[in-house]
A and B are shown apart, each in its own frame.
Chain A
Amino acid sequence: MLDDFFIRALLAGIGIALITGPLGCFVIWRRLSFFAGTLAHSAFLGVTMAVIFEISIAFSVFIISSVIAIMLLKLQKGTKLPSDALLGLLAHSSLAVGLVVVGFLTSIRFDIMGLLFGDILAVNQIDLLFIWIGGALILLILKLIWKPLFASTVNHELAEAEGMKPDTMNAIFTILMAAIIAISIKIVGLLLITGMLIIPAAAARNISNNPQQMIMLSILGGLMSVLIGLFSSLEFNTASGPSIITAALILFCLTLINFRKYSDLKK
């Protein structure tokens, strides 16, 4: 039963998995999963802004996420609070402000559940365009800056000493994070984007021994999660985001089993 909306959802999901695969690896390597979560939470505020100003959701989310990222940097330099406290502060206050603003928008019907957990029905042609053009752009940038970005992920000082410009790479990477959250919010939902970023990458880590391999396996895991998740979402009438993440979790558990067997073999 492949309706139009379902093909659109599949195309959207595949596009997102292709981007979250490599980005998710960097999120794990750089220990940024809480940061990704904060950006995703702030996306709620971005969506309400999009409704108020009648602009594209993806564009608005991208702007708000970037602003939150910049605010985090300023707060890290300007206060003595630890990063995790600042991340929590930004995540929950932006979510709260977003919800308060939604309260004032009584005239507009607002699908909060779809926003939080993803809604395959909501994916339209423009979203697809955003995902595939934006995704291609993100992957292209990632490919271009792979060496310096990876070098600064491995060791900041070494990268700085040998001309890899780690500070610039960090800034570009933050922008890419904001972008992926903006374009994947409709399909995965803002509460689960972090899961889409880190679970396939975490599964890939269990079964890989070099960075390229981990990225490939992470993409593969993401694609499988999307396919399994979306088909079961259609079958069991569950929200698309949770279905995809649950599929990813099952894959993660499978890699754990394989991993154990492999280490038994070595004994």
Chain B
Amino acid sequence: MSKAKNKVLLKVENVGLLKSDKWLVRGVSLEVKQGEIVTLIGPNGSGKSTTAKIALGIHKKIDGKVQKFTDKIGYVPQKISIDWTLPIRVIDFMLLTEKLTNDQINVALNLTGVDHLKNKSLSNLSGGEFQRVLIARAIAKKPDLLVLDEPVQGVDFKGEIALYELIKKISEELSCGILLISHDLHVVMSATDFVVCLNGHVCCSGTPQAVAKNDQYQELFGDRASKILSLYEHKHDHTHAQDGTIKRKNN
């Protein structure tokens, strides 16, 4: 790959998280380099968010090793529980972890199309509006590494495509590394440099082109791979027992 010589921003080596005697994820390795979009795909409960949180240092008691080569990190979590009794406006939220100029805030809010909400209370925003504010906040500080966990959830269809285009543009302009978690196959295949398919462990990974030729990928997406906007069913050649051990299917 042409970008291979770029600086590594995030290196996750063989990580695992054991919770209540069950491995949420195990043996996951991945790397995010400058200007590269790495996407995690997988079914619900496959450990995509957990992997992202391990990479970010939110989960601390882990197996394996995480190395970050930058402190400028922007994070869009999948679920965020903000206590709505807090009196907090969009502009206060934008300044949550970083000092920003008024211009920087305006530009970021403008990019995600919510600059008119700047002085509104966070508690008055709709789900989609809040999601756009979350993305704006993460990109406003021009991070080296962006971790986006289902960043366009709750955003209307038209906005969804625009936001994905924005994410692609950001990765090029800022030449930051992006770790993206997404259900959307079309994004995975078009905008991504590297795909990691998770199901408690890494099922398959590689460039989109390589993954497309992969047997496991074929099994994963089947003939739906060409119908890029369709929902996909997640199929694997193995199943997982309750304790996380892998059972091969006999076929």
Contact = CB atoms under 8 A, between A and B. Distances in A.
A210 B88 contact: yes
Given A154-B82, A154-B96, A209-B121, A161 B73 contact: yes
Nearest to A159: B97
Interface SS of chain A: helix, strand, loop or mixed? helix
Interface stretch (A70-78, A124-132, A145-153): A145-153
B87 A210 contact: yes
A27 B198 CA distance: 41
Interface residues of B, number: 25
B81 interface: yes
Interface string A153-180: 1110111111110000000000000000
Contact of A211 (B58, B73, B75, B92): B92
Nearest to B96: A151
B96 A150 contact: yes
A264 B60 CA distance: 49
A186 interface: no
A214 B86 CA distance: 10
A213 interface: yes
A153 B86 contact: yes
A29 interface: yes
Given A29-B83, A31-B83, A162-B74, A157 B88 contact: no
B86 A211 contact: yes
Contacts of A211: 86-88, 92
B46 to A, nearest CB: 19
Interface in B3-49: none
Contact of B86 (A29, A163, A164): A29
Contact of A209 (B56, B57, B89, B93): B89
A45 to B, nearest CB: 32
Given A161-B73, A210-B92, A211-B87, A155 B80 contact: yes
B242 interface: no
A150 B93 CA distance: 10
Contacts of A8: none
A161 B83 CA distance: 19
Interface string B43-65: 00000000001001110000000
Contacts of B97: 147-148, 151, 158-159, 162-164
Contact of B58 (A161, A213, A214): A161
Contacts of B151: none
Given A151-B96, A209-B121, A210-B92, A161 B86 contact: no
Contacts of A212: 92
B105 interface: no
B87 A208 contact: yes
The 6 closest A-B pairs by CB, nearest first: A161-B75, A161-B56, A162-B97, A160-B58, A151-B96, A157-B58
Given A155-B81, A162-B73, A205-B85, 20 more contacts: A29-B85, A31-B83, A151-B96, A151-B97, A153-B86, A154-B83, A154-B86, A155-B80, A155-B82, A157-B53, A157-B58, A158-B77, A158-B97, A159-B97, A161-B53, A163-B97, A164-B97, A210-B89, A211-B86, A213-B87
5 contacts: A148-B97, A150-B96, A161-B57, A163-B73, A209-B87
